[in-house]
Amino acid sequence: MLRRKNNKTFDNEKDAYNYALTLLNYRDYSIAEMQERLKKCSVAGEDIKAVISKLCEYGFLDEKRYAQRLYDSWLAKKYYGKGKLKADLQKRSFSDELIAGITGQAQEEAEYERCQAAADTYLKKKKINSFEDAMKVKAGLGRFLFARGFGIDLIKKTMAEKITYTAEDNCNY
């Protein structure tokens, strides 16, 4: 994907602040993300600190609110686990305490149901006619669930419940 080069440079705090407000019109940013965006525009270090503190003071830059929005967005997506949520929060450079607080809101029972739903959608597309097919589907299901951020124990439990097979090629799911 081609990206436009940012040719904007700001030499005073007011212009940098207005640029930051323009960015915040489109989406929320974490403090680290906003600092990075301002650095790309050649804003001086002291101006960055002043702009960030002003944005935080007025409530335009609020990491807790932003992290909570990401959590709510994650809840709306039914086929992702806690690992995906944690990775999204880490990608946006949130503090470890905030990440632990947000991921702690996710309930184990709800994540188990999410894992079951994700497994069901995967298995709808698969046909198991033999023992070898069952092994391939089971391996694929494990990769599918792991890629969506579910934990290993939860994946093992879900695979054991969803795919049962015997050596006589009696496969059920």
Tokens of 145: 């669930």
pLDDT-derived band at 167, boundaries 50, 70, 90 = low
CA distances from 145 to 89, 117, 125, 141, 156 (A): 19, 10, 15, 6, 10
The answer to whether residues 10 and 51 touch, using CB atoms and an 8 Å cutoff, is: no
Handedness of CA 150, 156, 161, 162 (dihedral sign): positive
pLDDT at 171: 53
Q: Per residue in 93-114, pLDDT tens? A: 899 999 999 988 888 888 899 9
Band (pLDDT 50/70/90 cuts) for residue 166 is low
Does the pLDDT of residue 173 top 60, yes or no?
no
Per-residue pLDDT tens digits for 39-51: 988 888 888 999 9
Q: What are phi and psi of 4, to 5 degrees?
A: -75, 140
- Nearest Cα neighbor of 63 from 96, 16, 15 is 96
What is the per-residue pLDDT across 133-160, written as a single tens digit (0 to 9) for each? 888 899 999 999 999 999 999 999 999 9
What whole-number percentage of the chain has pLDDT above 90? 49
Fold of 13-57: Arc Repressor Mutant, subunit A (1.10.10)
Neighbours of 136 (CB within 10 A): 13
pTM of the model: 0.76
Over residues 76-83, the mean pLDDT reads 88
Which residues have C-beta within 8 Å of that of residue 55, sequence separation ≥ 6? 17, 20, 21, 24, 34, 61
Where do the structural domains in the chain lie, given as residue ranges?
13-57, 63-104, 108-172
